[in-house]
Amino acid sequence: MPNVARGARNGPEPRAAAAETDTPALILGSASPRRLELLAQIGIVPDMILPAEIDETPRRGESPRDYVRRMAREKAAALAGSAHGAILCADTAVVAGRRILGKPLDDAEARRFLQLLSGRRHRVLTSVALAHEGRLRERLVETVIRFRPLTAAQIDAYLATGEWQGKAGAYAIQGHASAFAIWMQGSYSGVVGLPLAETASLLDAIGIQGKAT
């Protein structure tokens, strides 16, 4: 029977209904509404939403791929002692060359990020980690995107929307910034924050299935 919960909530205890099935309770270790919406697209609603609080500072000399893998793993590890069930965590990074573009601190930094991405290719890396019964399952998905050249006026208009706030690389591909991308190779849902095919495969391996899988 598909494990499609009736609703997600914050808190340390899984719903009793989840415990009555053969499938584990699913804890989403993220406060991102985008990841919650993506899971809903494949018929999955977490039993709990329990954001992980970790230090997201890249280490000296750490590659972007190693960085996103470590972030997803550390988020899952941070919740392992306070949540019972399957813990699903993810991390997304926008990468220009070898430079990791995180969430901009202010509009000035957001402007610099968009200027850097203008007219060139960049990568979006999303790592997914699923911790369950002492085992960690992982997937790393890379998507390449090319932005069209952006004028100062276009960047100003985008910044005025406020959409850049809290977004890696200072943009949301599912929003106004969709007009910037002229070419993409990889996973669109991975750019939004959770690669659905890979995530569904991980969940299916532990018996959690949505109506679309």
Contact 164, 158 (CB under 8 A): yes
Q: What is the mean pLDDT of residues 168-174?
A: 97
Q: Is 55 one of the annotated active-site residues of the chain?
A: no
Residues 68-95: tens digit of each pLDDT? 999 999 999 999 887 789 999 999 999 9
- pLDDT of 59 > 70? The answer is yes
Q: pTM (2 decimals)?
A: 0.86
On the question of pLDDT at 60 being above 80, the answer is yes
What CA–CA distance (Å, rounded) separates 170 from 177? 10
Which residue out of 22, 47, 66, 91 is catalytically annotated? 91
Q: Is the pLDDT of residue 9 over 50?
A: no
User: Which two tokens mark 23?
Assistant: 């499938």
CATH class of the domain defined by 16-205:
alpha beta
The domain segmentation of the chain, as residue ranges, is 16-205
When pLDDT is averaged across residues 16-29 and rounded to a whole number, the result is 72
Cβ burial of 211 (10 Å; 0-12, 13-18, 19+) is exposed
Contact 46, 28 (CB under 8 A): yes
pLDDT exceeds 60 at position 99: yes
Q: Are 163 and 180 in contact (CB under 8 A)?
A: no
Nearest CA to 100 out of 143, 129, 57 is that of 57
